[in-house]
Amino acid sequence: MLLALLLTIMLNVSAQNPYAEFDKDAAKYGVNVEFSGQQPKITDFITAYVNSVAEEEFFFCLDYIWEKYLQNKPLKENEKVVVDTKNGYVKMEDIVYDGHEVNQDVRTTAEMRYWECADQKHKIFAISVSQFINDKDFAFDTDFNGLNFYVYNNDTHKMVYSNGYGLGLEKGIKTDTGEEVVTFDEEGCRTDALDPFAIFKLPQTGNYFKVILYNLPTKKEITVKWNGLKFEV
């Protein structure tokens, strides 16, 4: 009887706070998000992320562009920053020109977005990095491509990393035929280095993200919706 009562209490607590495990981890080694005003803006999340340096390699070469933006320094022609604080969205791009191969310029794109959680106590901060050949959406697979998440606690002002587990993505992302095409490891959401591979696009508005699959007979898109508590796949 006592064991059943304890299990019931634990289940009720878990139901009340679906992010309880994230909060425990954040208390130990979460990233502190500093901000002014009543709540953080997307720019505060990005600055906290960049300063954490733990995922510096994943962020690749775009951190210095962000520093230039914060310091109001002029950007080069090949550097772009789009900041939409109203919708909680930022996009950065850097094009590395190859002087030997005209058609092999590499464009690295990072998109950052956050969503409010239905419990009104947490936010989900997402970071997507993709690389393309030239100025078109001709993506190629690299170690830097991927999608990562952080769960932010409104009370403690700390966010902690998630590779998709605990956010509804534990079983991967499947096509409409039931084939699993995106799996999750300690580095985040990824596909196998073989066929197919994916890039992840975050929206400037809307509660979803898109998975774009390459190396298939035709390019395919999968929309993954955010329902306020978790992602639906």
Percent of the chain with pLDDT over 70: 71
Confidence of residue 8 (pLDDT cuts 50, 70, 90): very low
225: Cβ–Cβ under 8 A, 6 or more apart, which residues? Answer: 207, 208, 231, 232
The pLDDT value given to residue 215: 65
Give the whole-angstrom CA distance, residue 207 versus residue 228: 8
Confidence of residue 11 (pLDDT cuts 50, 70, 90): very low
Judged against a pLDDT cut of 90, whether residue 54 lies above it is answered with no
Give the residue-averaged pLDDT of 87-97: 89
The pLDDT value given to residue 6: 37
Judged against a pLDDT cut of 70, whether residue 216 lies above it is answered with no
Q: What pLDDT digit, counting tens, does each position of 59-79 carry?
A: 556 788 888 999 999 999 889
Domain spans, the chain: 18-232
Whole-model pTM: value is 0.84
Judged against a pLDDT cut of 60, whether residue 128 lies above it is answered with yes
Question: Is residue 168 within 8 Å of 230, Cβ to Cβ?
Answer: yes
Question: Is residue 208 within 8 Å of 182, Cβ to Cβ?
Answer: no
Give the whole-angstrom CA distance, residue 66 versus residue 91: 10
Residues in the chain: 233
Residue 12 token pair = 């009720």
The pLDDT value given to residue 171: 78
Give the whole-angstrom CA distance, residue 204 versus residue 189: 20
Name the DSSP class of 104. G
